[in-house]
Amino acid sequence: MVNLLKRNWLFGLLLLICAIYMGVYIYQTSFISNGTRYFVLFDDAMISMRYAKNFAEGYGLVWNPGESPVEGYTNPLWVVFMAIFHLFPIPAPKMSLFIQISGALFLLANLVFVKKITEEILEDSIAAYLAVILTALYIPLNNWGLQGMEVSVLALLISAVCFVAIHSIRKGEFSKWIYILLFVGTLVRMDMVVPYLVFWGFLLIFDSKHRRQHILWGAGLLAFSLIGQSLFRHYYYGELLPNTYYLKMTGMPLILRLKRGLYVMYKFIRELNWVLFILPFVVLLFRYNQTTLLLALIFLAQLAYSIYVGGDAWEHRGGANRYISVAIPLFFILFVYGWEQIKNSLLVKVKEYKTAIRFLGNIGFILIVGMSLINFNYFNRNSNNIKRIFLLYKPHFIEGNKKYVEIVHAVKKVTTQQAEIAFYAAGSVPYFSERQAIDLLGKNDSYIAHLQNHIPSKISDIRPGHMKWDYEYSIGKLKPDLVLGIYGGRDEAGIYLSEYYTVVVIDGIEIFARRDSPEILWDQVEQEP
């Protein structure tokens, strides 16, 4: 990368601007609570942080120290990466900052590969810069990548493997790094198997010269990853699949899950703009090569996977979900490729005033991509998203993070360290409160995860991973000292809350406290009449 920057100072300047941009974004995710500035990740990432913290402190890869382990994460290598930072004396309110900085570094490295891939398929340096800018300013990719999700490193791995595969085919060489990087990706997150298989299949077809090496390396490392993880999971957790698989992929009819996946895909493409989405693929029908075909296959595979799993739980925020975001840089490369081909086709027909026409053509190219950038981020037709591009409006999820930290202060104020809490948001509050926790929605509870879903009447209301609960079990049987909130099934929960709990107010926050709990500091609470 250093040599690249020496040869291309303009790109180095662009990376510096992007780094500053990401730094400001990260700062905007922070907030002051109780006199301390907190950096907090997206709540699902904070679940991984809890596992990382317990692992670093010697309790193992567990949700609650001292209890039977349950695999409530889907990103084992990312959890281990997070655990490394927990070995250092970093205050809890600042721990997330280091994960966010790591995410920024991964996203910056990804921009390098976006430029290199674009230059492999186009000689126009303007197109390479435009692909980089589209990637750098796409809100969902920054949301996931800079708020602690493994999306940042997965996007980097996919882009890096694309470049290595393209480069090795063109040079007529075999590169084992393709499979080493993909192997690492499957350790970060198991569903990286999807792009792994696409890359592998593509290379088996188009690199017949090295087919034997592809078979050996591809099959060997994939088998080692899947069998190794399954054996560890069976030994450590007593399951062959992560708890989150049972939570999200069982208890719902396959047809309904696919309908939901198609629904969120329709919404995603509609918000991108149908014409802008389809255009690069239409161009590829007439002007494609091995490189553009590979990029298209990887991106389309991620779209198909998103449909298969029923999408994510956060599409109501708009834009690409986590499954699509890891491959969205490849779409942006294809997008500028498509417009570059259209521009060149038009310029070929112009024989006079070539210099002036080409200049105007480039200006038009830049304007079209610039307007498309605005359109790609104008999801939900919310003008605040346009402001977010220019860091003029706070990022998504920050208000929720702030509320969770306020709840943490309340929990610590009125309970002993032996208290047990129950909440539907299983990330920030359990992590910062350092109390035993019951996950009401089952991501960290194998009993809940194996239940049937409570399916809403509208497909638009389905939120994978947030539709399983059993309050007779979580509240009536387990009887936590505090219940901090209910997500769904309020009538069912109300039966047990009214029988065993009373509403208390701590610094304006209403919480359900178990009437007979010895772990609650009753002199610190205000009970509602």
Predicted structure pTM score: 0.96
Same-domain pairing of 48 and 98: yes
- Of 342, 365, 389, which residue is a domain's last? 389
Strand partners, 421: 437, 482
Task: Judge contact between 112 and 4, C-beta under 8 A.
Answer: yes
* Per-residue pLDDT, 258: 97
* Per-residue pLDDT, 143: 97
Give the span between the Cα atoms of 191 and 212, in whole angstroms. 25
Same-domain pairing of 355 and 420: no
Task: Judge contact between 163 and 115, C-beta under 8 A.
Answer: no
Same-domain pairing of 53 and 128: yes
Same-domain pairing of 22 and 148: yes
Report mean pLDDT in 10-residue bins for the chain, 529 residues.
64 96 98 98 98 98 96 97 98 98 98 96 89 98 98 98 96 97 98 98 96 98 97 96 96 97 96 93 88 96 98 94 98 96 80 70 91 94 93 95 97 97 97 98 97 95 96 97 94 96 94 96 76
| Lookup: tokens for 507 | 């610094």
* Per-residue pLDDT, 350: 67
- Of 354, 389, 424, which residue is a domain's last? 389
CB atoms closer than 10 angstroms to residue 393: 15
* Per-residue pLDDT, 406: 97
Give the span between the Cα atoms of 322 and 302, in whole angstroms. 10
% residues pLDDT > 70 (the chain): 97
Residues 235-251: tens digit of each pLDDT = 999 999 999 999 999 99
* Per-residue pLDDT, 414: 96
Same-domain pairing of 328 and 434: no
Same-domain pairing of 415 and 510: yes
Same-domain pairing of 261 and 344: yes
* Per-residue pLDDT, 527: 63
* Per-residue pLDDT, 394: 94
Q: SS3 letters for 431-467?
A: HHHCCEEEECCCCCCHHHHCCCCCCCCCHHHCCCCCC
Same-domain pairing of 221 and 239: yes
* Per-residue pLDDT, 346: 80
Same-domain pairing of 54 and 160: yes
- For the chain, the domain total comes to 2
Domain of residue 479: give its range.
398-527
Same-domain pairing of 420 and 374: no
Same-domain pairing of 14 and 104: yes
* Per-residue pLDDT, 529: 54
- Of 389, 407, 439, which residue is a domain's last? 389
Same-domain pairing of 295 and 433: no
